Amino acid sequence: MEDFNEELEKLLNDLEDVNGKKELSEYLKYLKYQKNYSDYTIINYGDDIKEYLLFLHEKNINLYKITYEEIRLYQINLNDKKDINSTISRKISALRGFYKYLENEHKMENNPFSLINLPKKDKKLPRFFYYNELEELFNTPKLNTATGQRDRLILEMLYATGVRVSELVNIKVSDIGDHTIKILGKGNKERIVRYGDYCEEILNMYLGDGHYKLNSSSEYLFLNNRGGQLTDRGVRFILDKIIEKTTIEKKISPHMLRHSFATHLLNEGCDILTVQELLGHESLSATAIYTHVTNDRLKEVYFKTHPRAKKK
């Protein structure tokens, strides 16, 4: 909680004397305490809305009386900054949510952003790790230290379960069962994920040694060096440090391990509905993007292995 308040304060410091600062603060606290959004998501939304408020301040546009034409002017400004379509879509979506909140709080009569069409998203396939790259990642943390055991477990659990980083850092020791973990996902929806023998081995080592040394009394599974609950940002920092020690020339993120989880399941023959359930996706369309990756793999395997795929 302290980390969130510090990040919020830093964000709001740039909005001194800017109209909408108080409303933004209230909205981000609403996302945190009412909607249960992750700190990482909230701060990203805050950055997007802060950029918009600074634009309004510069152009002397009223936050509550903005017109469709003035919103279009803001979109043109984003295009001039060479923001890609997916980034623009994210920023407009953040503002839609912000204005919907203002509308629900009776601070304005309607949401002008509901009239704005989002640009078509750039078609971008999810990035994932190959099996040999994962092996190198897993073998990088040193298991003779408490933090090394924790870091190895972070990698194993992200890949074994496909959970989001916001779900990972909120796992409590009491949520763990026999090869199962109870996860509190988006919208406070619970689901059960599973993990295998490799993850279990490291989990037992960490619970019997590393977790005890970091803070045996903590209810949370993943702890920082001071024994407190590890944050989203803390996990990303740890992963950055791990990949720096490898020969892998890729940027790493928790979501890349989630992508790898889904892609490898489909490559090995798992049906897409099961993958959807394991990922916690509400819509099948969110899971379907992984079929583009696996289709390329199937095509490659087909032409290599089918006896009559190619003439000798």
Is-catalytic flag, 255? yes
Kindly tell me if the per-residue pLDDT of 180 is higher than 80: yes
Is-catalytic flag, 292? no
Kindly tell me if the per-residue pLDDT of 122 is higher than 60: no
Please list, in sequence order, all residues whose beta carbon lies within 8 angstroms of the beta carbon of residue 102, skipping any fewer than 6 positions away: 23, 27, 64, 108, 111
**Mean pLDDT over residues 200-224, rounded?**
96
pLDDT tens per residue, range 46-75: 999 999 999 999 999 989 888 888 888 888
Q: Give the span between the Cα atoms of 56 and 20, in whole angstroms.
A: 10
Q: Which of 164, 211, 259, 264 is catalytic?
A: 164
Regarding predicted confidence, which is higher, 124 or 15? Answer: 15
Kindly tell me if the per-residue pLDDT of 158 is higher than 90: yes
Whether CATH 1.10.357.10 fits 131-303: no
Q: Give the span between the Cα atoms of 237 and 219, in whole angstroms.
A: 22
**Mean pLDDT over residues 111-123, rounded?**
72
What is the band of 1 on the pLDDT scale with cuts at 50, 70, 90? very low
Q: Give the span between the Cα atoms of 275 and 258, in whole angstroms.
A: 11
pLDDT tens per residue, range 236-290: 999 999 999 999 988 898 999 999 998 888 888 888 888 898 888 888 877 887 7
What is the band of 86 on the pLDDT scale with cuts at 50, 70, 90? confident
Q: For the chain, what percent of residues have pLDDT higher than 70? A: 91
Q: Give the span between the Cα atoms of 143 and 203, in whole angstroms.
A: 12
Kindly tell me if the per-residue pLDDT of 301 is higher than 80: no
Whether CATH 1.10.150.130 fits 2-115: yes
Task: Please answer whether residues 83 and 45 qualify as being in contact, where contact means their C-beta atoms are separated by less than 8 angstroms.
Answer: no
Q: Which of 281, 277, 261, 161 is nearest to 221 (CA)?
A: 161
Average pLDDT across the chain, whole number: 87
Q: What is the pLDDT of residue 48?
A: 93
Q: What is the pLDDT of residue 99?
A: 92
Strand partners, 172: 220
Go through 85-116 and write b for each residue having 16 or more CB atoms within 10 A of its CB, e for each that does not: beebbbbbebbbbbbebbeeeeeeeebbbeeb
Q: What is the pLDDT of residue 297?
A: 62
Is-catalytic flag, 186? yes
Q: Which two tokens stand for residue 232?
A: 């989203």
Q: Which of 172, 186, 191, 213 is catalytic?
A: 186
Strands 190-194 and 180-184: antiparallel
Q: What is the pLDDT of residue 188?
A: 77
Is-catalytic flag, 211? no
Question: CB atoms < 10 A from the CB of 223, how many?
Answer: 23
Q: Which of 40, 45, 220, 290 is catalytic?
A: 290
Please state which of the ranges 94-103, 173-182, 231-240, 300-309 shows the lowest mean pLDDT: 300-309
DSSP output for the chain: -HHHHHHHHHHHHTTTT-TTHHHHHHHHHHHHHTS---HHHHHHHHHHHHHHHHHHHHHT--SSS--HHHHHHHHHHHHHTT--HHHHHHHHHHHHHHHHHHHHTTSSS--GGGGPPPPPPP--PPP---HHHHHHHHTSS-TTSHHHHHHHHHHHHHHHH---HHHHTT-BGGGB-SSEEEEE-GGG-EEEEE--HHHHHHHHHIIIIIHHHHHTT-SBSSB-TTSSBPPHHHHHHHHHHHHHTSS--S---HHHHHHHHHHHHHHTT--HHHHHHHHT-SSHHHHHHHHHHHHHHHHHHHHHH-TTSS--
Kindly tell me if the per-residue pLDDT of 83 is higher than 80: no
Q: Which of 50, 91, 150, 258 is catalytic?
A: 258
Q: What is the pLDDT of residue 203?
A: 97
Domain boundaries, the chain: 2-115, 131-303
